[in-house]
């Protein structure tokens, strides 16, 4: 965790840029490189959809998200991919489970 999921980008290009992606992402997000997961999504497009980079992670300050997006965009452009949509899917530590246990306990209010 975090997960960086590429869609519509050649597998060999993802592999080639993975070291710099991991290094730069880890630096900006302030996580160890071992925690950064790279995935390639293989999807069947039904309608025209753009190449994208989906980033699943815990929320950071807006400036960090902005810096991550700008850096990832620059790396993608250097590897021949312009106009890639980059978006974040923000995860909650209270809703992220390892072995059935949340990373962080939240206060849950039951609604009757």
pTM: 0.89
H helices then E strands: how many in the chain? 2, 6
Residue 112, domain member (yes or no): no
Q: Can you give the pLDDT at residue 105?
A: 82
15 falls within a domain = yes
111 occurs within a structural domain: no
CA distances (Å), origin 76, targets 10, 17, 31, 86: 11, 8, 21, 10
- Residues 28 and 64 sit within 8 Å (Cβ to Cβ): yes
* pLDDT (tens digit per residue) in 41-80: 999 989 999 999 999 999 999 999 999 999 999 999 999 9
Distance CA 33, CA 111 (A): 40
User: Could you read off the pLDDT of 31-43 as tens digits, one per residue?
Assistant: 999 999 999 999 9
Q: How far apart are CA 74 and CA 77, in angstroms?
A: 5
Q: What percent of the chain has pLDDT over 90?
A: 87
Domain total of the chain: 1
- Give the chain's length: 112
- Check whether 98 has a pLDDT greater than 80: yes
Q: Return the CATH number at 18.
A: 3.30.429.10
């Amino acid at each position: 965790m975090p997960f960086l999921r590429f869609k519509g980008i050649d597998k060999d290009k993802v592999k080639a840029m993975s070291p710099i992606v991991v290094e730069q992402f880890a630096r900006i997000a302030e996580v160890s490189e071992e925690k950064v997961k790279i995935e390639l999504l293989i999807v069947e497009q039904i309608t025209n959809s753009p190449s994208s980079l989906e980033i699943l992670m815990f929320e950071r300050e807006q400036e960090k998200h902005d810096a991550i997006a700008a850096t990832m965009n620059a790396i993608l452009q250097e590897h021949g991919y312009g106009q890639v949509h980059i978006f974040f899917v923000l995860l909650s530590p209270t809703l992220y489970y390892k072995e059935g246990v949340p990373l962080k306990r939240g206060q849950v209010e039951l609604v009757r």
